[in-house]
Amino acid sequence: MVRFARVGDDQWDIVAWLWQAFRNDLAPVVDGFPYADGRYRHDRLADYPGPDREGWLAWSPHPNTGEAAPVAFALVSGIGTLEQAMAEFFVVPAARRGGTGRRLAAHVLAQHPGRWCVAFQDGNPVAGRFWRTVFTEAYGDGWVETEEPVPGRPDVAPDHWIRTT
């Protein structure tokens, strides 16, 4: 059974480890390389937690030990503002295609009523299908999708954004 919990003050190192898997997973889409220290870009984690930011972890029994293991994370920004964002989202490959990601996303969206948005790269068609499904399940036809340039990166394809209406 998967359970969801806000990231505790002593659990941000867990998110940092999963972050490296997240960025490795995303590397082919964004032409990402690790930096000289062997880690992928992780500067965005410095903003968490914050007054309008929080993180969530999904925990599932490890198949070999039964011990609770982190299998997904969601980072949220803009809490209490006009538009909250699912800023970062990752499910470990072994936990995909069983509904863990959809359930985590729905759980997080339900924690903060109001307007929501999420961005994804067009080069990641699985993410596009995932987020369209999540927003349709949560909001019906109450969302729109747009393409927007990546700030400061005219050399890359625009991001796709889903926003509730």
Chain CA centroid to CA 24, Å: 14
Fold annotation for 3-164: Aminopeptidase (3.40.630)
Instruction: Write down the number of H helices and E strands in the chain.
Output: 3, 7
The whole-number pLDDT of residue 36 equals: 84
- What average pLDDT does range 31-46 have in this prediction? 80
Q: Pick the closest to residue 55 from 72, 69, 38 (CA basis).
A: 72
Confidence check: pLDDT of 31 > 70: no
Q: Which string of DSSP letters, residue by residue, matches 80-119?
A: TSSSEEEEEEEE-GGGTTTTHHHHHHHHHHHHS-S-EEEE
Domain positions in the chain are 3-164
| The dihedral sign for the CA sequence 88, 127, 56, 84 | positive
Q: For 46-95, how does the pLDDT look when each residue is reduced to its tens digit (9 = 90+)? A: 999 999 999 999 999 999 999 999 999 999 999 999 999 999 999 999 99
The whole-number pLDDT of residue 37 equals: 81
Tokens 């759980």 found at: 107
Q: For 88-145, how does the pLDDT look when each residue is reduced to its tens digit (9 = 90+)? A: 999 999 999 899 999 999 999 999 999 999 999 887 889 999 999 999 999 999 999 9
Residue 26 near residue 53, CB atoms below 8 Å:
no
Confidence check: pLDDT of 29 > 80: no
- List of E strands, the chain: 3-6, 54-61, 68-77, 84-91, 116-121, 143-148, 159-164
The whole-number pLDDT of residue 152 equals: 87
**Residue type present at position 150:** V
Enter the DSSP assignment of 150.
P
Single pTM value for the model: 0.91
Residue 61 near residue 1, CB atoms below 8 Å:
yes
Chain CA centroid to CA 83, Å: 16
Q: Pick the closest to residue 164 from 137, 149, 145 (CA basis).
A: 145
Helix, strand, or coil (residue 154): coil
